[in-house]
Amino acid sequence: MQLNKLFIGGEWTVSNSDEFFETVNPATEEAIAKFPKGTKEDVKKAIDAAQSAFPKWSSLPAPSRGKILFKVVELLRNEKQRFSLLVANEMGKAMPEALGDVQEAIDVFEYMAAEGRRLFGHTTTSELHDKFCMTIRRPIGVVGLITPWNFPVAIPAWKLAPALICGNTIVFKPSSDTPLCALELVKILEKAGIPKGVVNFVTGSGDVVGDEIITNKKVYGISFTGSKTTGEDILKKAGIKKVGLELGGKNAIIIMDDAKLDLAVEGVVWGAFGTTGQRCTASSRVIVHNKVKQKFEELLKKRVTQIKVGYVIKGADVGPLINETARQKTEKYVKIGLEEGAKLLCGGTKPKGKGFFYHPTIFTNATPDMRISKEEIFGPVLSIIETNSIDDAIDITNNVEYGLSSSIYTENMKNAFEVINKVDTGITYVNSSTIGAEVHLPFGGVKGTGNGTREAGIEGINEFSETKAVYFDYSGKLQKAQIDVS
């Protein structure tokens, strides 16, 4: 079995702990590789390496940093198939989705590499004579990146690329469920020419490795994607530093009585059961108009019962959950849904044999206040809720603590704009599913989904840079703003 190391100061090194954990294929339950259980001392070494590398890396012109990121793009393109197979085996994604995961990483590195030629500030007028005002971007410093398992290449890329182009140095902790994908991405960065100490990679538990990254005073920024509970804990522990959080969702698709139902069904199936429901943007609720509810459910059930669940390398449509804990959580919520009085339309069982599989599950006759309609399950479970108007559908959509993604299927422009303007989410799709974000647009949400930051696009640059105001006074005398105004 492959035995891996940490990457600190440009060197592959062993951990102080001499202890290891295994990553497994969730479809076969077979071990893939072993990784070190990093210690606080390992993290401190990584932070010191990042701090030492910061002056030189941050002073390198941004277009030169961009050239290295463009090299990452080239290397990832050349190895897209290999990376995708790794994603499919370590995380369990179907091959088309695994290829999409890697393509997303390619796209974000390409976008951020080009930002090296921009990194825009602003110029503006002064209230005083002979004075010039502008803003520039400055890197944060050493930043900690803590990433989840569900997009094991794409989400690390979403954080690494903007952090690097802005001139930061990095301590990177991946999920312990998918560290091999992360390690291979770090190898790509190394091969592309990232200087020693700029990117450091430490595996291990959140309680040990994660806590040291979060609390260490030499780390000036944190970017985390994961659960709301962990995000709240990070805010309590981080102290005064820049923190970006993306914490999940309970996303709804509204289907109005004028919707194209065949199109809506495809969107719901993709949104609810793509990645086995393990996306923060997954469509876990459908709010359907009572005039078309019966017809929609007939079409949806027919489509979902055709889905092939199994080992994605062998051609299945939907793969496993990430681990047994995730499957048990799904089973728990199916039981809760039945106890709450929702009706099982299909699914609700797990296949026999190896692998953490669970059949796509649909509840109908759910109500907005049921736990299956309000709490994030992060598995292949969909709740159907009936509505009789656009206003009621919007109220139901907003009746959760999260606010990440939303969708409406309608041919009525007014309905579409009602949802755009009144639904409390960071993303809204019209006649499309709740998943499918593009890397040049901001990604993130409101309420319990995060703390106001956004990833991707120009907002990714904002997350990983600070804004400095600059004043040039060429009047030859002392001028006092707000006082010497004439």
pLDDT, tens digit, for every residue of 462-472? 999 999 999 99
Predicted local confidence at residue 486, as pLDDT: 66
- 286 and 165 in one domain? no
Quick one: CA torsion of 82, 85, 91, 96, rounded to 10 degrees?
A: 110
Phi, psi angle pair for 245, to nearest 5°:
-125, 135
- 147 and 181 in one domain? yes
481 inside domain: no
Predicted local confidence at residue 418, as pLDDT: 98
16/298 Cα distance (integer angstroms): 58
- H/E element holding 134? strand 131-139
- 190 and 163 in one domain? yes
- 259 and 240 in one domain? no
pLDDT, tens digit, for every residue of 142-160? 999 999 999 999 999 999 9
Known catalytic membership, residue 246: yes
355 inside domain: yes
Predicted local confidence at residue 343, as pLDDT: 97
Q: Is the Cβ–Cβ distance between 376 and 226 less than 8 Å? A: no
Query: Based on the number of CB atoms within 10 Å of its own CB, is 78 exposed (0-12), middle (13-18) or buried (19 or more)?
Result: exposed
Instruction: Give the number of domains in the chain.
Output: 2
> For the domain that residue 175 is a member of, what is the CATH number?
3.40.605.10
402 inside domain: yes
Query: Based on the number of CB atoms within 10 Å of its own CB, is 227 exposed (0-12), middle (13-18) or buried (19 or more)?
Result: middle
Radius of gyration of the chain measured on its C-alpha atoms:
24
409/29 Cα distance (integer angstroms): 39
- 415 and 343 in one domain? yes
**Distance set, CA 353 to CA 29, 96, 161 (Å):** 10, 24, 40
445/247 Cα distance (integer angstroms): 9
Residues of the chain with pLDDT under 50: none
- 283 and 158 in one domain? no
Predicted local confidence at residue 302, as pLDDT: 97
- 240 and 331 in one domain? no
222/142 Cα distance (integer angstroms): 9
Predicted local confidence at residue 460, as pLDDT: 96
Of 175, 227, 184, 171, give the one whose Cα is nearest residue 204.
175
**Distance set, CA 241 to CA 51, 119, 232 (Å):** 16, 22, 15
Residue for token pair 């090299």: 71
Q: Which of 166, 181, 280, 346 is catalytic?
A: 280
Predicted local confidence at residue 18, as pLDDT: 87
Q: Which of 97, 110, 212, 246 is catalytic?
A: 246
List alpha helices for 195-280, DSSP H.
211-215, 228-238, 261-273
pLDDT, tens digit, for every residue of 436-453? 999 999 999 999 999 999
Per the structure, the complete domain to which residue 418 belongs is given by 251-430
Residue length of the chain:
486
- 98 and 55 in one domain? yes
